Amino acid sequence: MVRYVLRRLLFTIPVLFGISLVVFLVVRLAPGDPAKVMAGEHASPEFIEAVRVRWGLDRPLYVQYGIWLSRALRGDLGLSIATKAPVLQEVLGRFPATLELSLVAMMFATVFGMAAGILSAVRQYSLFDYLAMVGALIGISVPVFWLGLMLMLFFGLYLDLLPISGRLDPGITLRTITGLYLLDALLTRNGKAFVNALAHLVLPGVALGTIPMALIARMTRSAMLEVIRQDFIRTERAKGLPERLVIYRHALRNALIPIVTVIGMEFGLLLGGAILTETIFAWPGLGRYTVDAVYARDYPAIQGAVLFIACVFVIVNLVTDILYAYINPRIRYR
Amino acid sequence: MRTIEDIAETFRLLCRNRAALAGLVILGVYVFVALFPWLLAPNDPLKRDLALRYQPGFWAGKEFARFPLGTDYLGRCVLSRIIWGTRTSLLVGVIAVSISTGLGMFLGLLSGYFGGWVDIALMRVVDILFAFPSILLAITIMAALGPGLEKAMIAIGIVYTPQMARVVRSVTLVIREMEFIEAERALGASHARILLHHILPNVLAPAVVYATLSVAGAILDAAALGFLGLGAMPPAPEWGAMLSGSHKALTSGAWWAVAFPGLAIMLAVLGLNLLGDGMRDLLDPRLRM
Amino acid sequence: MKPVLLQVENLKTYITTHRGVVRAVDGVSFEIFEEETLGLVGESGCGKSMTALSILKLYPKPQGKIVEGKIVFEGEDLVRKDEEEMLKIRGKRISMIFQEPMTSLDPVFPVGEGIVEVLMLHQGLSRSEAQREAVRLLRMVRIPEPERRVHQYPHQLSGGMRQRVMIAQALACRPKLLIADEPTTALDVTVQAQILELIRTLKKETKTAVLLITHDLGVVAEYCERVAVMYAGKIVEKADVLSLFARPLHPYTRALLGALPRLDGKRSRLEAIPGSVPDLIAPPSGCRFHPRCRERLPRCSEEEPRLWEVEKGHEVACHRL
């Protein structure tokens, strides 16, 4: 197990470098002159040239990459063209918002998705199974931004039940420690802020979590069905174990192994979907920051944000793999 | 050729699966709409009339029948735009997936068949591309290429290539180990012949299934790009783009400008998923992806 | 003569499939006496496994159903019992072990855990008591270093050891009856003998009767006291082992024996039985073996023969006798 973990860690490092290379190249290959963009619309040719030299844009590409990478490793992701603030600072400032939204969406997706999947598998071919699977199919076909808009329309505007933008109402104050408002509200015993933050998380969370929930439901169902067919389930029944134990202690525990992998993969979907959801719900997170940066052609910001998100994704996958190795005895005990 | 009979047989079996049949029907409708938009659209999709902004559709009364699904924030007919947008979305989906399938199969075959350095290098690249959530990667590529429909097709095509490459590679690996390949090599068959004659036909089936499912994702991603303003350029009628002016529509109460384009996306993707699921169930034992 | 432990009377288990109703067990009757080993022999697909599963009601539901018959165990009819009552019998008074030790143990739990489960469930032991007993049981089935093995996972054990664990699990609560469905078919020949020998030794200690299901007549000859031969969902011959091998009466039994190579020097051709196993959805009329029987009479295709006692302790279902 230790060897497996080390191997995976070692493997992650070239991937991270590869990501940085891709991020750097893709943005640099954009048409247009980055120096001109940075210098501004009405800059003189001499000023543009000065900017070019100042930022090393006249050096060969691989040198530029080297400089950029060494700076990035030290935490210097450059300055945003739009705000002139350090990109790393801006990214870190916005990350907790995305993290909180993603976690809430993930919990929603996992809890309801797995529950639906297990019940569908246990009651295969029943009405519940049929409805759940039809629902799941619709769930994976729905565009996340449209779902967000529809939820916003119905619950926010039509019923006026839940807030549709931002993380807190303007009147609420909250002392932030972690940047995760629910956690902060608990830590500072601020009940009003907690409820308010929760209300703001509902619509975007449900919108973001619906597609992963549908996928998890489908995967859970098929994994459970697969496991229930196995010989050892028959052995457990022959031992006189009540069906409840057979399903929840034995079948589920085995099905969890492939399900964990899927949940890890879902997180990537979630991060992508967060980009769209944040745009709709005016959520001040990293996704929206990235999109705004693309509109503004703010290349350092784009590079920094994309690099950060991709790295988070890689780390999540690494954790998932390690978790998988832990819960699968065949890998854990050689 | 054997493959044509296989396809016919597969088609016949597929039709017995009710869900797949439903998907096929839905897709058929969409293809028809994409091919003959001028026959079906009641109005000119590009014609603006600011006096007629945010008109409701047929449900509000007979006098609104001229624009059956209402008008958007520029007074354009929503239904006509959806109908003309079908062509755009299907085209983007098909072309993007064609790119990814072609590239993916090529890379996967090479990687799986030759192994060694080629395999390791290619799979590293695939892993790195996989390290990005797909929309993020698409956005990043679009940031480099600039906005536009053709660029969106390329970007999405690149995004879907790695997974196709992986699928093709794993099937190739399995077939490569089969004994008849050894026999062929012993008989002096060249690499090219083995790849084309023996491996490719077997790879085709899972590739087609995966491609079908990819088109669903590609359409969603294309719509997402359109929604973000990075795909189709205005005033082109594209489903995702139709949703991006929506904030104003919602506050004006014009829910139809948002609901119907999204519904169009969802049904198209649903049809493709039904079809893809049916195809995958058919090939299931052979397709442990 | 020991008393009767299990009496199966006219058991019929049918399974509904999309192709039709499979009459897997179609009127089977036999008895098992206390502490004896009864062998149930037949080709693949003859219904012997389904008979075993029927006793514990472990057949696939809802497709499978006992449509007729009685299974009387220690005075109670199991067919009339509901699921909750069956839970108290499985693993406790009647246990079952299966054919594939590779896949018959839950891969995510240590092997000791499976035994502890049974002990805690049926005997009400505490966890620590159950763990100690589990180690003792592993020692009983001759697994070396049981204290270490009890924490290992199935994939870390060999096939033979896994089967021993299954046996330990099955005998943990000292059931009166052990049903062994082809317990050694998936094992190497040398290991086969060890396992069967182990079962024979242990059953004396725990005073357990054994229903040994197999297609191997050699196993029957060595390890069983009585035998029942099944064909196409019915029992065609039933006798004690010596009588069956000395004087096989049913043509099918004789054909099976004829297909065995002989060690006594007489060289004769191995006789294959012509034809193939009948379809249990639409079995042949009359005697089910008649299409493949060399000695059939016209009556055989019309009327189904009943089991009757030809000599003491030896019953046969054939029109010729």
Give the start-to-end residue ranges of the domains of chain B.
Answer: 28-45+60-288
pLDDT in tens, B28-85: 999 999 998 888 888 888 887 777 777 787 777 777 777 888 888 888 888 888 998 9
Residue for token pair 């939820």 = A151
C117 vs A231, A239, A243: nearest CB: A239
**Chain A residues inside the 8 Å CB shell of C58:** 234, 237-238
Answer yes or no: is pLDDT of A195 > 50: yes
- Across the range B248-254, mean pLDDT stands at 74
Q: Do A238 and C166 touch (CB under 8 A)?
A: no
pLDDT in tens, C92-146: 999 999 988 888 999 999 999 999 999 999 999 999 999 999 999 999 999 999 9
Evaluate whether residue C188 is within a structural domain. Answer: no
Domain shared by C167 and C228, yes or no: no
Residue of C nearest to A241 (CA): C87
What secondary structure, in 3-state letters, does B175-223 show?
Answer: HHCCHHHHHHHHCCCCHHHHHHHHHHHHHHHHHHHHHHHHHHHHHHHHH
Q: Assign B288 a pLDDT band (cuts: 50, 70, 90).
A: very low
Evaluate whether residue C275 is within a structural domain. Answer: yes
- Across the range C227-248, mean pLDDT stands at 90
Domain shared by C310 and C214, yes or no: yes
Residue C133: give the domain boundaries.
94-174
> B136 to chain A, minimum CA–CA distance in Å?
6
Return the residue in A61, A149, A320 with the most chain B beta carbons within 10 A, the one to mutate for interface testing: A149
Relative to beta strand C94-97, strand C37-41 is unpaired
Domain shared by C277 and C247, yes or no: yes
pLDDT in tens, B188-217: 777 777 777 777 877 887 888 889 889 999
Average pLDDT, chain A: 86
Evaluate whether residue C279 is within a structural domain. Answer: yes
Q: What's the confidence (pLDDT) of residue C319?
A: 83
Average pLDDT, chain B: 83
DSSP annotation of B71: B
Q: Do A149 and B250 touch (CB under 8 A)?
A: yes
Evaluate whether residue C141 is within a structural domain. Answer: yes
Residue pair A241/A112 in contact by the 8 Å Cβ criterion: no
More reliable by pLDDT, A101 or B133: A101
Answer yes or no: is pLDDT of C153 > 70: yes
pLDDT in tens, B17-27: 788 888 889 99
**Chain A residues inside the 8 Å CB shell of C89:** 240
Q: Do B146 and A30 touch (CB under 8 A)?
A: yes
Q: How many residues does chain B have?
A: 289
Helix axes B149-176, B78-114, angle to 10 degrees: 30
Q: Assign B285 a pLDDT band (cuts: 50, 70, 90).
A: low
Evaluate whether residue C153 is within a structural domain. Answer: yes
Q: Which of C174, C196, C224 is the last residue of a domain?
A: C174
Q: Give the CATH number for residue C304.
A: 3.40.50.300
Q: What's the confidence (pLDDT) of residue A53?
A: 77
Domain shared by C86 and C208, yes or no: yes
**Chain A residues inside the 8 Å CB shell of B215:** none
Chains near B, with 3+ CB pairs < 8 A? A
The percent of residues in chain B predicted with pLDDT above 70, rounded, is: 94
Q: What's the confidence (pLDDT) of residue C269?
A: 63
Residue of A nearest to B270 (CA): A141
Domain shared by C86 and C98, yes or no: no
CA B271 – CA B34 distance, rounded (Å): 15
CATH topology of domain B28-45+60-288: MetI-like fold (1.10.3720)
A23 vs B140, B261, B274: nearest CB: B140
Evaluate whether residue C45 is within a structural domain. Answer: yes
Residue for token pair 């060897």 = A3
pLDDT in tens, A219-261: 999 999 999 999 999 999 999 999 999 999 999 999 999 999 8
Nearest residue to C235 via CA among C22, C13, C42? C42
Q: Do A143 and B265 touch (CB under 8 A)?
A: yes
Sign of the CA dihedral with A298 first, then A300, A304, and A310 last: positive
A240 vs C87, C105, C166: nearest CB: C87
The percent of residues in chain C predicted with pLDDT above 90, rounded, is: 52
CA A119 – CA C243 distance, rounded (Å): 54
Evaluate whether residue C63 is within a structural domain. Answer: yes
Q: What's the confidence (pLDDT) of residue A227?
A: 93
Report the number of distinct structural domains present in chain C: 2
Answer yes or no: is pLDDT of C312 > 70: yes
Q: Assign B1 a pLDDT band (cuts: 50, 70, 90).
A: very low
Domain shared by C103 and C162, yes or no: yes
Domain shared by C21 and C83, yes or no: yes
CA B29 – CA C202 distance, rounded (Å): 70
Domain shared by C258 and C128, yes or no: no
Residue for token pair 């679009």 = B142
Q: Do B133 and A272 touch (CB under 8 A)?
A: yes
Domain shared by C210 and C310, yes or no: yes
In 10 A of CB B200, how many CB atoms? 17
Evaluate whether residue C287 is within a structural domain. Answer: yes
Q: What's the confidence (pLDDT) of residue B122?
A: 87
Q: Assign C1 a pLDDT band (cuts: 50, 70, 90).
A: low
Answer yes or no: is pLDDT of C270 > 70: no
Domain shared by C110 and C73, yes or no: no
